[in-house]
Structure 1
Amino acid sequence: MRPEPGDLLRIDGRASVQFAGDRALTFRVVSVCDRPTYAGWVWLTGYVLNRRGNATTKREIYVQLAGLRRVTSTPAASRSRVTRPYASRNDQGDGRAARDRSGLRARADAR
């Protein structure tokens, strides 16, 4: 199997002894290096993913192609928080109060 950018892989002892046992990791491939290496080995650049599917560390790893395994189910990615401007009571849903900040002024005047 030749990995491509975007692939999600399970890297464990089959890919390299340095990832055996509890040192196994889930890896999102960013790039595959075209440098000449030993036959059957490849340099991969990508991100280590935690159990939630969030990237924790960017790494470059040297692994055996024969030991790479695609992950069939992706880790559950956590939802990113969306920040929104303060909505006041006089905001009618058209965003006018948020744009002109009248809601913020009204709140400050109430103090």
Structure 2
Amino acid sequence: MEFQSVVEGLVAQGCRVFLESSPHPVLTVGIEESADRVVALESLRRGEGGLRRLVDAAGEAWVRGVPIDWAGMLAGGRRVDLPTYPFQHQPYWLDSPRHPAGDVT
């Protein structure tokens, strides 16, 4: 009960993004269930940490609508062009005859 009231109090003060820094993130679900329109992210996971995991969390935040200063976060990085060709649309299912021959009895 105290957890929910703390989250609600932070949301009332304008907090909308929460970052859990624990190798066993279990609070993110509770935070998102406690309030509407909040983003709860995990910065660590068991066996995953460091800069790579933090950048992944920032990417998840950005995808979920949180503004990120990428230039400041990835100083020394460079932009790369993405491919401009459309993806090849091809089925990966095996072709089967419309009316297979054989006795079904």
- What interval of TM-score do these two structures reach, taking the shorter chain for normalisation? under 0.3
More strand, by proportion: 1
Q: TM-score, normalised by structure 2?
A: 0.21
